[in-house]
Amino acid sequence: MSCTKSFQTPAALGFRMPAEWEPHAATWLAWPHKEESWPGNFAPIPGVWVEMVRALAPHEHVNILVNDAAAAAAVRDLLHAARVPGDAVSLHAIPTNDAWARDHGPTFVTRQVDGRSELAAIDWVYNAWGGKYPPWDLDDIVPQKIAPLLGVRLFEPGIVLEGGSIDVNGRGTLLTTEACLLNRNRNPHLSRAQIEQYLRDYLGVRHILWLGDGIVGDDTDGHIDDLARFVDPTTVLTVLESNPRDENHERLQANYERLRHMADQDGRALRVLTLPMPEPVYYDEQRLPASYANFYIANDVILAPVFGDPHDGAALRTLHEVFPRRRIVGIPARELVWGLGAFHCVTQQQPL
């Protein structure tokens, strides 16, 4: 099937965004190359990607965007040295400005047609979190490159949105934040109601839940994937800061209280579970957005950030309790989060 652009909305055609825990065909990554994203400490970053691919490869195919043939050769050498099977990974010459695939990559939606699943891609406008980090021209067109590669339909809403700002339960409910989606640096011409309609039309959701502020140090203006995540259709896992003197304490408590009074698309109260926050992580005196909520759910495995922190064990145990049938892989993330994101920020699931 060739890539076509459609002027009917995905929801009108029966498409929906599956929950992250539903079966994947693949994970998409963009190989890191922008040293300015990890100023003064880029050297360990490719190794973090190797660890992610090594954890994912036994469970699902991994697609990696690389800038050119030289980058592809270097990546193959690194993965070969890590004993990652070559047939588990595909490299695609799609240049990027940066490595945050969750935010600049396509959001995938699916529908059932004659007993089979049909995939489509949503191409949101990408402006590097409100114009913060130019240039972003290559990142903005990544979905336009991936859709024809997969031979799938491409939908273009024409509004700014990043994948890390939304989370869904796959049954009709979407979780997001006011701090990000209502920020004037995204879509100043749209009201809350208009933004909600776009989410309904393009992601097939019916019910939208709004939290407030994001965590300190988050340059995305409050992405949901550092705050609260659906882990089954009626359960949300959210972070809480136990230290009342920490600047995250009040904002996370406020979000928790909102969640405790929220319901799903069918009016059922949400089950709200909690993760701790790590002790504050700094680099060059800058507080970083370190959060255990920034995990990635893949087939049979969870990629979980750990920080060499006393709370690492509790966070991993909670994830094991929530996902008892998946392997929990804790990957050191202190260097990664210097780029102001973690494993959910750099991955994008392609559902079956």
Enumerate the β-bridge partners of residue 297. 302
From its phi and psi, is residue 270 left (phi > 0), alpha (psi between -120 and 50) or beta?
beta
**Dist CA 44 CA 102 (whole Å):** 21
Helix (H, G, I), strand (E, B), or coil: what is residue 308? coil
Count helices and strands (H / E) in the chain. Answer: 11, 18
* Angle (nearest 5°) at CA 12 between 7 and 20: 100
User: Which residues are part of the catalytic machinery?
Assistant: 345
The position carrying tokens 């498409």 is 15
Looking at residue 270, what DSSP letter applies?
P
Residue from 1, 57, 64 nearest 28 by CA: 64
DSSP strands (E only) in the chain: 24-30, 61-66, 89-93, 107-113, 116-122, 153-155, 167-168, 173-177, 207-211, 228-232, 235-240, 271-276, 282-283, 286-287, 296-298, 301-306, 327-332, 348-351
For residues 130, 132, 136, 137, the Cα torsion angle rounded to the nearest 10 degrees is 60
Helix (H, G, I), strand (E, B), or coil: what is residue 71? helix
